[in-house]
Structure 1
Amino acid sequence: MRVLIADEHDIVRRGVRAILENSDHHEICGEAADSNAVIEITKSEHPDAVILDFFQQSTEDVDIINRIIDTCPNTGIVVLTNLLESELMRDALQAGARAYLLKSDAVDHVLLALDAVDCGKTYFSAKISTLLIERWAIDEMRHPPLTRRERQVIRLIAEACSIKDIARQLELSAKTIEAHKASAMRKLNTKNVAGLIRYAIRRKLVTL
């Protein structure tokens, strides 16, 4: 497995390199100290995985994940960072990261994450898993669960179907479809269709 190490701190890159050099399954194909270097090396080396920290230390820098995947769609992203923020994790995972680790995690987590990504799976350390579960629980408590029919209506709306089209497909009246739509919007605390579409994408009710 060919791996690119991307972190602005030389000491971190050396530490990750030392971990990988003790493994028989991983080959280091490059190191990058900034986002431009990440993209240049990704274009030339086509790594199987990128171990990445956020150079700008903000949600805006999650865009680097999109750029890597646009360049090499099959490259797995392993985030290795000090940032334990649920919003940043959410954005990174939505952008396509396959694993999320903290630099305070045990060394073994890096190798386990790479092995998982190599098998097409995701990987999170215990701290990250706990935070993601807590975040999910908070979201579920904040928003009452949608009914099966409400999810159907949201999916069809996200697929650009009109109310009349949805009514015809589900063999219901347009008034009933409007009622399901209004109920879903109320539960999700959104005031427009864009909010329903975001929900459909986040919950993978539709594919892009």
Structure 2
Amino acid sequence: MSVRVLLVDDQILMRSGLRKLLEIEDGIDIVADVGSGPAALEVVPVCRPDVALVDARMPGMDGIELITRLTADYPAVASIVLTTFDEDEYLFGALKAGARGFLLKDASPEDLVAAIHRAAAGATVLSDQVAGRVVAQLRGETPVQPVLSSREVEVARLVGAGASNREIAAELYITEGTVKNHVSSTLRKLGLRDRTQLALRIANGDL
């Protein structure tokens, strides 16, 4: 029997890409793709997914709020966060809300497909990067160094080169809003106040 999957992401290109990627996989059936939390709650009773792939950051209702609602109202749906942002607030917020998994969008197609099947079977699935942080949190350990995603590193280095958000967006083929999110995430992870401090850190070879 195929795993019925619901895609929830406010970026239409991401939803389209995920649909095309997963539709060719045996054992996976994409039953719907929507761009918001409220839309997801509307279609769940109709399409009856086994797994919901949910973006963490969405306008209006974010992924954590959506997963909280899904866990309460549709506990049979296994939610997996699939996001660019791996901040602790999203990771631990999602797990506390009832998510069965947390993956970054740079995960390989094979890992994503395997995660869907494992979550549908009742397992908890975490990328290696975030699993280590969960273990450290449980042990009361403080990570030695915050982990930046590959995209955050790219954005940070362009900030260090003096590029504006618009220039970075054009260079990396992403939106200015996404650039701002990456910059904010990087500053928060590194404990920096502003772009100037980030640029100085990069100039010192600390990234």
| TM superposition score normalised by structure 2 | 0.62
- Within 5 A, what are the aligned runs for 1:37-76? 37-56=39-58, 61-76=63-78
Measure how far apart 1:136 and its partner are. Answer: 2.5
How far off is 1:92 after superposition?
A: 0.6
Aligned length: 140
1:84 aligns with 2:86: yes
Q: Residue type matched to 1:63 in 2?
A: E
Is 2:82–2:102's contact at 8 Å kept on the other side of the alignment? yes
What is the rounded CA distance, in whole Å, between the counterparts of 2:10 and 2:62 in structure 1?
A: 16
2:84, 2:4 → 1: CA distance? 24
Residues 24-45 of structure 1: per-residue CA shift (max 9 Å, x gap) = 1011110110111110011221
SS at match of 2:99: coil
The equivalent of 1:130 in structure 2 is: 132
Kindly provide the CA deviation profile for residues 65-84 of structure 1, in whole angstroms up to 9, marking residues without a partner as x: 11112332100001100111
- 2:18 aligns with 16
Q: Which AA in structure 1 matches 2:85?
A: L
Partner Cα distance (1:22, 1:79) in 2: 21
Q: How far, CA to CA, are the matches of 2:107 and 2:126 in structure 1?
A: 10
The answer as to whether partners of 2:55 and 2:63 remain within 8 angstroms in 1 is no
Structure 2 residue aligned with 1:147: none
For the aligned residue pairs, the C-alpha RMSD in angstroms reads 2.1
SS of the residue corresponding to residue 110 of structure 1 reads: helix
- TM-score scaled by length of structure 1: 0.62
> Structure 1 vs Structure 2: percent identity of aligned residues?
27
Match for residue 31 of structure 2?
A: 29
Q: 1:112 aligns with which of 111, 114, 118?
A: 114
The CA distance in 2 between the partners of 1:59 and 1:130, in whole Å, is: 28
